[in-house]
Amino acid sequence: MGLSGRVAAIAGVGPGLGRDLAVTFAAAGADVALLARKSAYLEEVAREVVAAGQAALCLPTDLTDRARCAEAARLVGERYGAVDVLVHNAFSRPPLGPLGERSAADWHAAVDGNILSATNLLYELLPLMKGRPASVILVSSISARQPYPESGIYAAMKSAMLTLVQVLARELGPHGVRVNAVVPGYIESDNLEAFFADVGTRRGTSAAHARQAAEATTCLGRFVTAREVADVVAFFGSSASAGVTGQTLDVNAGQWFG
């Protein structure tokens, strides 16, 4: 996926998809600005970006704080001068449970961590993106398609993100900025194993049985990898998708399609 000479800002860099996004963009020729709430993992990923021959900028940032996003955008501008791609992979996962048991604080935290974190950073980086042309990719979740029991707030946030993509596509199109979304299914990771262990416990069965039941719902009989999702995000960030905006692409091994 040709991204040579481009600058990508990737928010939500951590183990799993965040790391694969950074490495995939670097391998395709992009310099990368790495953003996450905590700095511990940023330096490790930055070393992989540099090993791929690209520049890396580490920016520990609380994306729910607009002022912190403004400072991050200033540093990106000083280092790179422009941004061609923004990938928003950051999220917060609200407590599980029936909606009736969730507090107003739970809702507010979910909006801040999943929606405002995206728009805060986007609008601070926008002056660096206008007229490039540039691309914005929001990472949603299969929860937007098939809400897991007791994950109502999270599912609502990830579903709202898909409407946000359409709103932003219309708003930013005149500036030459495209906006699309990728909706991953279950992604192979250590966290996924912990998830199925929890599901198994709740259902009175094993983690292996819970996993097998979920795999059976996919057309390919397996889950996707972080690299497979990252490759689709890179497609949206490249000129290969220059005529695509306001769209959502599911990457889920056939777990859901409509």
Domain boundaries, the chain: 7-187+225-251, 189-222
Tell me, what's the pLDDT at 240?
96
Q: Output the pTM of the full model.
A: 0.94
Largest pairwise CA distance in the chain: 55
Strands of the chain (E only): list them: 7-11, 31-36, 56-60, 85-88, 134-139, 177-184, 248-251
Token pair of 84, please?
């061609």
Q: Which residues contact 209 (CB under 8 A, 6 or more apart)?
A: 200
The 10 Å Cβ neighbour count of residue 166 is 16
Write down the pLDDT at residue 23: 97
Question: Is the sign of the CA dihedral 128, 131, 132, 138 positive or negative?
Answer: positive
Tokens at 22, concatenated:
């950074």
**CA-CA distance, 18 to 224, in Å (whole number)?**
15
Report whether 12 contacts 161 (CB < 8 A): no
Report the length, in residues, of the chain. 258
Distance of alpha carbon 96 from the chain centroid:
21
| pLDDT score, position 1 | 61
Check if the beta carbon of residue 161 is closer than 8 Å to that of residue 144. Answer: yes
Strand partners, 252: none
The structure tokens 């599911």 sit at 250
Q: What is the pLDDT of residue 89?
A: 96
At 76, list the tokens: 């990106």
pLDDT by position in tens, the chain (length 258): 679 999 999 999 988 899 999 999 999 999 999 999 988 899 999 999 999 999 999 999 999 999 999 999 999 999 999 999 999 999 877 777 777 788 899 889 989 999 999 999 999 999 999 999 999 999 999 999 988 777 788 999 999 999 999 999 999 999 999 999 999 999 998 888 888 888 788 788 898 998 999 999 999 999 999 999 999 999 999 999 999 999 999 999 999 987
For 7-187+225-251, CATH gives 3.40.50.720
